[in-house]
Structure 1
Amino acid sequence: MYQLHSIKSLKDNYIWILTNPNNQAVIIDPGEAEPVINYINKHQLLPLGILITHHHIDHTGGVYELKNQYQNIEIYGPSEIDLPINYLVNQNSVCIGDFNFTVIAVPGHTLGHLVYYCKPFLFSGDTLFSAGCGRVFEGTYQQMLDSLNHLKKLPNDTLVCAGHEYTLSNLAFASQMLPDDENIKSYLNSISKQSQTLPSILSKEKQINLFLRCHENQLQNKFNFNNELDLFVFFRSQKDIF
């Protein structure tokens, strides 16, 4: 029913667009406006709304210009965003035209970070990347771990539409941590020459994403930890300096 489109933006960002058969569109995390306007014009889309995951400028930088260009567009996001938008406070869903998104609070990267799920698409912002997760800037490690564990419960066929193209770097780190892991080695080899690795699929992420595997007793034992939080803190701290 819905079709996914991606626009590469800035250094390594993705702007996502979801369309329906009527060419109506919802834009997710427009870090800049010009490539979005060009894409809309080229494909003759009718933008209905914008969803923002968190307040960082590389996810919000195009909002003002897009609102000026499309004055009837509705904009939604967390209350941490200092823009004149519709704040999603204690809401578990948002409807834009015939698009219905589940809204999931995922504090960690920022305290107000939201992600949006419209089966099978998960717009995960800077919380869940392919083979990685976002830095813990404002929240706690426990909050980020809880957020990732929440997302891990989504259906295995969920398509992870993350905010950045970080997959190769994340897999290089994972390979350093687990050099003998066949799933990680195989996946790294399969995508090593791809310029775009997203969307990923959640079933694959559960195999190759270390931050989704901190519950595994085998990994906890390997790194001399006895709970998933300590292992998560170790992995995230090591990735921060990788």
Structure 2
Amino acid sequence: MRRLKKDNVLPFLKEMNKKEKVFCPQLVDGKDLMLVLLGDGEYRGDIGKTTISAKSVLFPQSEEIISYSDKSISKVIDSTKTLVFGIRPCEMSAIEFTDRFMTRGDFIDPNYVSRRSNMTTIVIACHESPSDTCFCIDAGKMPYLETGYDVQLFDAGDYYIAVPGTKNGEEMFADKNFEQGGREDKEKLEEIKSKALHSQKTKPGIKMAIEILKEDRPDEAFWERLA
């Protein structure tokens, strides 16, 4: 467990950007919070839902998959190292679902697998009251993750409590911007988790909507009521 001061987040991201591509929430044109490459917007420490999903890092709008000349043709696999900072727990769960879909059975997308295996994820757990569009509890999830991340950050005021989820995440703690955590941070972490869980509210109809989608059955009257 480590501490990461909020004032040190940008220096940390800039340091990581020397070694790999860094995506994080930034204001674009001064108004839209978007998950873009560091420097393509303005990082102000705003951590919220971005208009572009973190999955966009795994599904670029265009990509080179084949290289050819007059005499040869070869596959091109993107192995660029990337760091995605500021992913919300629900989005990380969506990425895990996509992982299973893109590697199911005999169908394995080598380009996706390469990008995913070279992607480090830093999740920021939710601690505030859910917005009108949040439904993690209804989907059987929580405002924070138990697994599936490299590093997860918990908001503790002017700093984050950083918890590793993988060996890759533990190695990241060697960066000078991370400070050793203490016993008080362990107690604070449990307090943050408890408060986040108790702030969640179920939304009428959402759980039923999920069941209907699973069963792939039409129910026009239900959708009209939900809308």
TM-score category (smaller protein) = 0.3 to 0.5
Normalising by structure 1, we get a TM-score of: 0.32
Identify the structure with bigger relative contact order (alpha carbons < 8 Å, sequence gap 6+).
2
Larger Rg: 2
